[in-house]
Amino acid sequence: MDRYGDALVLGVESIDDEHRHLTQLFDEFVTCLKEEGLSERARTIVEAALAAANAHFEHEEALMAETDYPGTAEEKFQHRMLRLHLTTLVGDVLNTGTGSCDPVTMDNLDTMRRLFTEHIQGPDRDFANFLRAIGIK
């Protein structure tokens, strides 16, 4: 199920597409864990999500540099924190070896979703508003 709702649409097509893709990968990963446990497919999904997240952050940061976005330092800090959380979560999930979706893992996944959503609705929305104000959609 795609949980990417209108509340997460920022009005900058390339950023919205990346956010939507990341959300879909996250949902697919959670579904896979619940249905199959830690399978090869789950590992493939999480590796794709890590690559997509890093590419997304790099894309946003390049746009910030190109447009002299005044909130660049804070946004980069937020990206770094999200990367740390995501890397910690992935390491925890992939290194447990249990193959199950235990309560701690599911709580960590919920926390990651919340952090991602808050980031989109907060700092990313501010950045998107800035981009739209200068004509980037």
13-41 confidence digits (pLDDT tens): 999 999 999 999 989 988 888 887 777 88
Domain count, the chain: 1
Q: What is the pLDDT of residues 65-90, one digit of tens each?
A: 999 999 999 999 999 999 998 888 77
Structural domain contains residue 89: yes
CA separation for the pair 137, 132 (Å, rounded): 6
Output the pTM of the full model. 0.88
Structural domain contains residue 2: no
CA separation for the pair 106, 103 (Å, rounded): 5
Residue 102: which domain range? Answer: 9-133
